Structure 1
């Protein structure tokens, strides 16, 4: 009977399969593209509390956390190449409840990141077309890129690689254009939470800026959700991850330093388009360089927006396939073989967030800042659970096939785990209202989890995770 049951499961799985079409370069494009919008906006909100110099220290700490995390996370991704990513690892290590916590946290991260990016796309377009309402432009971006993701992952990944390369090129152009006006004194003036000298109060600002330093690298782990669609995940994913995190660290440092040294950085610390505004200091408002940056700058935002739609859809798809969400969300389009219902469902939530000023704009922060913070809460909780899963699986399944092993184990995953716990504690302290909303999301989801055990028992994904 057990064999018969498993055969039935495998039969069901064929209706929930994704096509294996992605190569190493495409995965690198997804890894960098998922994150690269973080170089264009979001991070500068950290200057408002930490100052430029304080934020450098925060960013270095977060870069170290992400570097050690990615080297450790890659072991999980290559050992368990599953579209659920962190959900699959935690479920494997801690059972259904662990899978729920990791899956719900990842869902919050990937569903709330796109509306923040869409709002930034709207802000960039508003620079060119002042009569265009940013929120309407953001909704338009959702409709266009949901459609592109539905058409096919091969087309979507090729597009992602192209726009990612253009986005990197544009960041290099930005640094080159503002370099003639580079003055280190601009960057250091008031660099410690608005003061010229370091004080104990500077620590307060540095810790408060953690969510915006995380925004530099948020969502790189989304490559894990494309693992089932990779041609050779055990080889290509490690290369994509390592090359991706190194690319992003270099770009983050360059963009932050050149923007801050271009002029009065305080004018860039609470806006969605810091790079065009930084360029105004050097070339003026009507320069051709300025207009080029606005247009090409959209490529960076589009790369992340498009990539994270791919990420959230695979997470919704995997959770639904495993019975953690309604089963109909796991249906694959009969022609394009993409999780079209999951793509649309995440888009509906994102568009609702864009138009929910009264609900999301609280605690003295802007709508974008609160959405960013909510997304970061999901990410940090997922990072903690993922590192705990790595330690658990090393202990309970020492003979598991591990094509890539975390270097300097246990130092790297331990540092990533401790750093993530520090980030979570400080974020709760500085963003208590957002933390409460995040906790309510998890609690409501857990009630649904408890009420739908029968869905998981009948889910076709069980066969995948048991292999």
Structure 2
């Protein structure tokens, strides 16, 4: 097979995205985390225990984003973490960060697609959730292929609608809010804190991360930003502040509106919370189901943008087969990368026998797999920041991490704590994650000659 059939002109992305569109991608990538996934943390830690977990993770993400923005603006490439780690630690560092990011962004969409199926099943009980998930892939891969400007504008629209819907949810359930509801059994099923509450607090880490997972995906749209040095910091900082406020609001109002234990192990906690307040036949409830889909669609669609750019960037430098880096001649999008990531995601939807461990639902295990990739990438990115500060002190840094070295150090330490905790509580999924990384590493070692050839082509083109 010829792995070098694409010319350099075939493999270029166009800078067409503005600040508002990048903010829409930042929030849209993540906002489904406010609709589902996080409530599994209540099953582990209770409402109060999970609040501690969520606040710790929110602080980790805030310090991480302020630090990560320095990397994104100094190296605005579609590979994002792959590009930063490669610059800091060479090809092996690039592989590790790229592969971890790929696991995160390829495994997050199937979890969201399954949640889309669960939301629609509320309205149409006869629907097969997995077939709805596959249909979602087909529709939104097609939209992504048509063009990034159209895709980003759509992303902005559905993100705004999703934010409005979360505010409506809080408003509708607020009359039923009671602090007594929220704190009842709030420490892993107990009414008071004890040493027995601590394991649940740690076990809930992946589901707190789900509140914010994938915000870093804006980095993968950096080559398509009109003014990345200005627009990306604004998009990141405004995005993380928006998400922290929404996460706290949704969690508190949902937990205080009734019996929170009914919401702790399901894919559609917000509709169920609203049913307890307004009843199954209320127009408010039906509106939440339909408009709630916007939140799921925003993240699903946005992460397709993210995974496709990561596959594109890895393929462009021959870390994956180079034919995946082909850009559509009419639409200017990495259509082969979009389709390849979608194929893996659809396989994950039907992987019950492979990714079902510990008695948890398939969605919870897919979420955990994505989080393993994310945390590994966060650790590598912070290490890259420290390395580049030391090795390239004169590198242009349009945005510098505030409170350096404390912010990136906290983000690195917190991510390490998250990783160790997740390994302890999800060992079998960690083994599967390591297996994916090792399989990729074998490919990485066997294809070094292709990367050398790609580097020669790139150097000749630049010259």
Question: Structure 1-normalised TM-score?
Answer: 0.97
Instruction: Output the CA distance in 2 between the equivalents of 1:304 and 1:272.
Output: 15
Structure 2 partner of 1:289: 284
* Residues 329-355 of structure 1, C-alpha deviations (whole Å, 9 max, x = no match): 000000000000000000000001101
Q: 2:366 and 2:31 mapped to 1: Cα distance? A: 17
Say yes or no: does 1:161 pair with 2:156. Answer: yes
Q: Distance in 2 between matches of 1:374 and 1:322?
A: 26
Match of 1:357 among 352, 371, 381: 352
Select 1:65's aligned residue among 60, 63, 77.
60
Distance of 2:461 and 2:255 partners within structure 1: 48
* Corresponding residue for residue 129 of structure 2: 134
2-side partners of 1:187 and 1:428: how far apart? 29
**Contact 2:10-2:329 at 8 Å conserved across structures:** no
- What displacement does 1:15 show? 1.8
How far apart in 1 are the matches of 2:125 and 2:7? 51
CA distance in 2, matches of 1:352, 1:363: 21
Counterpart in the other structure of 1:217: 212
Structure 1 gap segments, 5+ residues each: 1-8
- For the residues of structure 1 that align with 2:113 and 2:152, how far apart are their CA atoms? 19
8 Å contact 1:88–1:465 — kept in the other structure? no
Q: Is residue 450 of structure 1 aligned with residue 440 of structure 2?
A: no
- Kindly indicate whether the alpha-carbon contact (under 8 Å) linking 1:50 and 1:202 is maintained by their aligned counterparts in 2: yes
Distance 1:466 1:349 in 2: 34
Structure 1 runs (4+) deviating above 4 angstroms are: 460-467
Do 2:79 and 2:220's aligned partners in 1 also have CA atoms closer than 8 Å? yes
SS in 2 for 1:409: coil
**CA 15–465 in structure 1, closer or farther in 2 if over 3 Å, else same:** closer
Corresponding residue to 1:384 among 376, 379, 388: 379
2:321 maps to which residue? 326
Q: Distance in 2 between matches of 1:393 and 1:198?
A: 43
| 2:174 corresponds to | 179
How do 1:231-380 and structure 2 match up within 5 A? 231-380=226-375
2:29 corresponds to which residue? 34
Tell me if 1:23 matches 2:18.
yes
CA distance in 2, matches of 1:200, 1:128: 42
Report whether the alignment pairs 1:120 with 2:115: yes
Task: Check conservation: 2:85, 2:380, Cα contact below 8 A.
Answer: yes
Question: How many residues are aligned here?
Answer: 458
- Counterpart CA distance in 2 for 1:358 and 1:424 is 24
Matched, 1:415 2:413: no
State the 1:455 CA deviation: 1.3
- Structure 1 residue aligned with 2:74: 79
In structure 2, distance between residues paired with 1:266 and 1:256: 13
Please name the residue that 2:140 is paired with: 145
Contact 1:19 1:229 in 2 (8 A): yes
Structure 1 position 357, deviation (Å): 1.0
Task: Give the 3-state SS of the residue equivalent to 1:216 in structure 2.
Answer: coil
2:195 corresponds to which residue? 200
1:454 Cα deviation (Å)?
1.1
How far off its partner does 1:363 sit?
A: 2.1
What is residue 9 of structure 2 aligned with on the other side? 14
Q: CA deviation at 1:466?
A: 9.0
DSSP-derived class of the 2:454 partner: coil
Question: Distance between the aligned counterparts of 1:465 and 1:388, measured in 2?
Answer: 31
1:152-171 Cα offsets, whole Å, 9 max, x none, are: 00000000000000000000
Contact 1:36–1:304 (CA under 8 A) maintained in structure 2: yes
Q: Work out the CA distance in 2 between the residues paired with 1:370 and 1:232.
A: 38
- Return the alpha-carbon distance in structure 1 between the equivalents of residues 322 and 73 of structure 2: 26
**What secondary structure is seen at the aligned counterpart in 2 of 1:241?**
helix
Q: Report SS of the residue matched to 1:435.
A: helix
Q: Distance in 2 between matches of 1:207 and 1:415?
A: 17
Please tell me whether the aligned partners of residues 92 and 465 of structure 1 are also in contact (alpha carbons under 8 angstroms).
Answer: no
Secondary structure of the structure 2 residue equivalent to 1:458? helix
User: How far off its partner does 1:231 sit?
Assistant: 0.2
Q: Whole-Å Cα distance in 2 between the matches of residues 396 and 116 of structure 1? A: 39
Q: RMSD between aligned alpha carbons?
A: 1.4
Q: TM-score, normalised by structure 2?
A: 0.97
Residue 462 of structure 1 deviates from its aligned partner by 5.0
Q: State how far apart, in whole Å, the 2-side matches of 1:257 and 1:108 are.
A: 31
Residues of 1 paired with 2:247 and 2:461: CA distance? 37
1:380 and 1:168 map into 2 onto residues whose CA distance is 26
1:14 Cα shift? 2.1
Shift of 1:13: 2.8
Map Cα deviations across residues 220-258 of structure 1 (whole Å, 9 max, x no partner). Answer: 000000000000000000000000000000000000000
Query: In structure 2, how many angstroms separate the alpha carbons of the residues matched to 1:465 and 1:49?
Result: 54
